[in-house]
Chains A and B, each alone.
Chain A
Amino acid sequence: MVQPAMPKTWYIPSKPHKFCPGCGHPLILKALGEAVDELGVQNQTIFGCDIGCSLLSWNFFALDSTQTHHGRTTPVMVGMKRARPELICVGYMGDGGGYSIGAQHLVNSAIRNEKITVILANNTNYAMTGGQLAPTTLPGQKTETTPFGRDPELTGYPTKGPEMISAITGDGAYVARGTVSKYRQLKGFIKKALQNQMEGNGFSFVEALSTCPTNWRTNAKQTWNWLEDNMEPYFPVGELKSPFKKEG
Chain B
Amino acid sequence: MEKPVTGTKKVFMTGNETVAWAALAADVDIMFGYPITPQNEIMHYWTRLAPKYGRQFLQTEDEISAGFTVCGAIIAGKKAFTATAGPGNTLMQEPFSMAEAMRLPTVAIIQQRGGPSSGTVIYSQQEVTLTTYGGNGEGHRIVYSTASNQELYDYTIKAFNSAWKYRFPTFVLGDGYQAKMREPLEIYDPATKNIQMIKPAPMVGLPGQIGVDREPQHLCNIYSLEEELYEVVLRVQAEYEKICPELVEYECRDCEDAEILIVSHGVVSSSAEDAVIALRAQGIKAGSFRPITLRPFPDQKLREILASGVKKMLVVESAYGQLVRLLRQEMYGMTVPMETLMMPGVGIIDADIMSKVKSLI
Chain A positions near chain B (C-beta within 8 angstroms): 11, 42-44, 46, 48, 51, 55, 58-59, 61-69, 72, 75-84, 86-87, 104-105, 107-108
**Are A46 and B205 in touch, CB under 8 angstroms?**
yes
Is B196 part of the contact surface with A, judged by Cβ < 8 Å?
no
**Are A75 and B64 in touch, CB under 8 angstroms?**
yes
Is B206 part of the contact surface with A, judged by Cβ < 8 Å?
yes
**Are A62 and B61 in touch, CB under 8 angstroms?**
no
Is B32 part of the contact surface with A, judged by Cβ < 8 Å?
yes
Q: How far is the CA of A55 from the CA of B219 in the complex (A)?
A: 12
Q: How many residues from B make CB contacts under 8 Å with A? A: 42
**Are B76 and A79 in touch, CB under 8 angstroms?**
yes
Stretch touching chain A among B16-24, B65-73, B245-253, B268-276: B65-73
Question: Given contacts A72-B95, A78-B72, is CB(A64)–CB(B78) below 8 Å?
Answer: no
Q: Which residue of A lies closest to B98 (CB)?
A: A69
**Are A44 and B205 in touch, CB under 8 angstroms?**
yes
**Are A66 and B65 in touch, CB under 8 angstroms?**
no
**New A-B contacts (7) at CB < 8 Å, excluding given A65-B219, A69-B94:** A44-B205, A61-B216, A63-B216, A66-B102, A79-B32, A80-B73, A83-B72
* Across-interface contacts of B30 in A (CB, < 8 A): 82-83
B5-34 CB contacts (< 8 Å) to partner A: 29-30, 32
B163 CB, min distance to chain A CBs, angstroms: 16
- Other-chain contact of A79, B80, B203, B219 (Cβ < 8 Å): B80
**Are B65 and A80 in touch, CB under 8 angstroms?**
no
Q: How far is the CA of A112 from the CA of B71 in the complex (A)?
A: 19
**Are A76 and B219 in touch, CB under 8 angstroms?**
no
B225 CB, min distance to chain A CBs, angstroms: 14
What sequence of 0s and 1s flags, for each residue 69-92 of chain B, a beta carbon within 8 Å of any chain A beta carbon? 111111111101000000000000
* Across-interface contacts of A107 in B (CB, < 8 A): 61
Interface of A is mostly: mixed
* Across-interface contacts of B221 in A (CB, < 8 A): 67-69
* Across-interface contacts of A87 in B (CB, < 8 A): 76, 204-205
- Other-chain contact of B76, A68, A75, A83, A108 (Cβ < 8 Å): A83
**Are A76 and B210 in touch, CB under 8 angstroms?**
no
Interface centre among B64, B70, B72, by most A CB within 10 Å?
A: B72
Q: How far is the CA of A43 from the CA of B208 in the complex (A)?
A: 8
Q: How far is the CA of A80 from the CA of B68 in the complex (A)?
A: 10
Q: Which residue of B lies closest to A11 (CB)?
A: B216
Question: Given contacts A76-B72, A77-B72, A79-B71, is CB(A64)–CB(B206) below 8 Å?
Answer: yes
Q: How far is the CA of A43 from the CA of B204 in the complex (A)?
A: 10
Ordered by A's residue number, 5 sampled pairs between the chains whose C-beta atoms are within 8 Å are: A11-B218, A51-B222, A72-B68, A77-B72, A83-B74
* Across-interface contacts of A58 in B (CB, < 8 A): 218, 220
Question: Given contacts A80-B76, A105-B61, is CB(A65)–CB(B29) below 8 Å?
Answer: no
Q: How far is the CA of A48 from the CA of B168 in the complex (A)?
A: 22
Q: Which residue of B lies closest to A106 (CB)?
A: B61
Question: Given contacts A79-B69, A80-B73, is CB(A67)–CB(B220) below 8 Å?
Answer: yes
- Other-chain contact of B65, A61, A62, A104 (Cβ < 8 Å): A104
Q: How far is the CA of A47 from the CA of B348 in the complex (A)?
A: 51
Q: How far is the CA of A76 from the CA of B221 in the complex (A)?
A: 14
Q: How far is the CA of A242 from the CA of B48 in the complex (A)?
A: 35
* Across-interface contacts of B209 in A (CB, < 8 A): 42-43
B43 CB, min distance to chain A CBs, angstroms: 15
Q: Which residue of B lies closest to A87 (CB)?
A: B205
Question: Given contacts A43-B210, A84-B205, is CB(A68)–CB(B68) below 8 Å?
Answer: yes
**Are A84 and B77 in touch, CB under 8 angstroms?**
yes
Is B217 part of the contact surface with A, judged by Cβ < 8 Å?
yes
Is B322 part of the contact surface with A, judged by Cβ < 8 Å?
no
Q: How far is the CA of A72 from the CA of B93 in the complex (A)?
A: 13
Q: How far is the CA of A123 from the CA of B44 in the complex (A)?
A: 43
* Across-interface contacts of B61 in A (CB, < 8 A): 104-105, 107-108
Q: How far is the CA of A86 from the CA of B77 in the complex (A)?
A: 13
Q: Which 7 A-B pairs have the closest CB atoms?
A: A79-B72, A79-B69, A64-B204, A108-B61, A83-B73, A75-B68, A76-B72
* Across-interface contacts of B210 in A (CB, < 8 A): 42-43, 62-64
- Other-chain contact of A83, B29, B65, B94 (Cβ < 8 Å): B29
Is B211 part of the contact surface with A, judged by Cβ < 8 Å?
yes
Is B229 part of the contact surface with A, judged by Cβ < 8 Å?
no
Q: How far is the CA of A55 from the CA of B218 in the complex (A)?
A: 12
* Across-interface contacts of A72 in B (CB, < 8 A): 64, 68, 94-95, 98
